[in-house]
Amino acid sequence: MAKRHQPRSGSLQFWPRVRSKRIYSNIKNWFTNNDPKPLAFAGYKVGMTHIQTTKPGKKGTEIITMTPVTVIECPPLKPLSLRFYRKTPYGSKAITQILSKNLEKELKRKITIPKKPKEEVPKDYDFMKLIVYTQPKLTGIGKKKPEVFEIPIGGDLEYAKSLLEKEINVDDVFKAGQFTDSHAITIGKGFTGPVKRFGISLKSHKSEKKRRAPGNLGAFTPRKTSWKVPQHGQHGFHKRTEYNKIIMLIDEDKERINQKGGFKGYGLIKNKYILIKGSIQGPSKRLIMLTESIRGKKSKNIEEIKYISTSSKQ
């Protein structure tokens, strides 16, 4: 009889498996570039569909390819402030910031807006970042409270100051065929046992006591339980990053993408949207942070999209 072999379930790379502190991701490592443009964007996950592309084959034929894609709605981002940082032995410290003059009233639901905005630019600073906020009121997800986060920018100081008085669109940051990294919080499944959390097998009917528990918690000595032993705990709602996701399309034609009756669990798309090949972590309506590919993968040509499925999934 052949020996049964199965790789361990549950990568030890992601540890500890704790619940995320907030519902949208914070990013610690950014791709930096000197091009005068923002280097990140954020949109709301709509759902998934599939597209059809064609490319020439042998003897005048066409090769038809069906590809699953994730739809992300991308309402414009509005700048909140331009923040200046200085590097210290204890990490980067914020010095000062220049606030935008035209702020939305919904921003008061999230933060306290200073009454007197500062206009001074520090003489010595190491780098700057743009603080932006989303506009969920432009979508149909049913919320008004925006998310506030910072993104890196390229270019000089004059370009950075010019961003404070205009909206940032997704096509100002990305283009079709470009690779991007997605940062988001995964679907939360609550408190689960080791069978669902790590995929361990059920014990046989002749085993004692429990059936959905690990058979052994480790050696007698040392007298402690190793963190590698699969046990119950939080499952899902973790911060995760997926690298090199290719953008298939950036468009604003809503009739081309909206499904009959709207997307399941989301509704109708009302703003610009992007299609990303494959799946993206997180449920519908969750904020997805998209950044420049930190591994530096070059863009590639995308075949013309002949068909986008709009059949109802309700």
Do residues 88 and 117 touch, judged by C-beta distance below 8 A? no
Q: Is residue 271 part of a domain?
A: yes
| Cα–Cα distance measured from residue 170 to residue 74, given in angstroms and rounded to the nearest whole number | 6
Euclidean distance between CA atoms 235 and 212, whole angstroms: 16
Q: Which residues pair with 9 in a beta bridge?
A: none
User: Quick one: 186 and 284 in the same domain?
Assistant: yes
Q: Do residues 62 and 88 share a domain?
A: no
Q: Strands 148-152 and 239-251, how do they pair?
A: unpaired
- 95 and 127 in a single domain? The answer is yes
Q: Which of 30, 41, 25 is nearest to 79 (CA)?
A: 41
pLDDT for residue 15 is more than 80: yes
- Indicate if 149 and 114 belong to the same structural domain: yes
Read off φ and ψ for residue 129, nearest 5 degrees.
-135, 155
Helix (H) or strand (E) run with residue 152 in it: strand 148-152
- For 286, the token pair is 């969750």
- 150 and 273 share one domain: no
* Residue 206 domain-assigned (yes or no): no
Domain of residue 309 covers 19-30+42-74+169-200+229-314
pLDDT in tens, 33-88: 888 999 999 999 999 999 999 888 888 788 889 999 999 999 999 999 999 999 99
List pLDDT tens digits, range 154-201.
Answer: 888 999 999 998 999 999 999 999 999 999 999 999 999 999 998 888
Domain count along the chain? 2
Taking Cα atoms as reference points, which of 48, 56, 141, 148 lies closest to residue 99? 148
SS3 262: coil
Task: Report yes or no on 220 lying in a domain.
Answer: no
pLDDT at 1 over 70: no
| Type of residue found at 232 | H
| Residue 283, burial from CB neighbour count under 10 angstroms (0-12, 13-18, 19+) | middle
Among 168, 190, 219, where does a domain finish? 168
Tell me which DSSP letter residue 16 carries. S
What is the model's pLDDT at position 117?
A: 62
Whether the Cβ atoms of residue 217 and residue 269 lie closer than 8 Å to each other: no
Q: Of 255, 287, 248, give the one whose Cα is nearest residue 270.
A: 255
Any domain includes 255: yes
- Rounded to a whole number of angstroms, the CA Rg of the chain reads 24
Domain-located, residue 219 = no
Tell me, yes or no, whether 179 and 128 share the same domain.
Answer: no
Residue 7 belongs to a domain: no
DSSP 20: P
pLDDT for position 123: 84
Are 65 and 184 part of one and the same domain?
yes
Structure tokens belonging to residue 63: 């090769």
Residue ending a domain, among 145, 168, 191, is: 168
Query: In CATH, what number is assigned to the domain containing residue 269?
Result: 2.40.30.10
In terms of Cβ atoms closer than 10 Å to its own Cβ (0-12, 13-18, 19+), residue 34 is exposed
CATH number at residue 121: 3.30.1430.10
Same domain, 236 and 301: yes
What share of the chain in percent tops pLDDT 90? 67
Q: What pLDDT, in 10s, does the model give residues 106-126?
A: 999 999 987 766 677 888 899
* Residue where a domain stops, chosen among 144, 168, 192: 168
Q: Decide: 80 and 100 in contact? Cβ < 8 Å.
A: yes
Q: For residues 183 and 268, state if they share a domain.
A: yes
- For residues 142 and 173, state if they share a domain: no
pLDDT score recorded for residue 168: 95
Q: Quick check: is 268 in a domain?
A: yes
Average confidence score pLDDT of the chain: 91
- Pair 192, 127 in one domain: no
Residue 261 and residue 151 in one domain: no
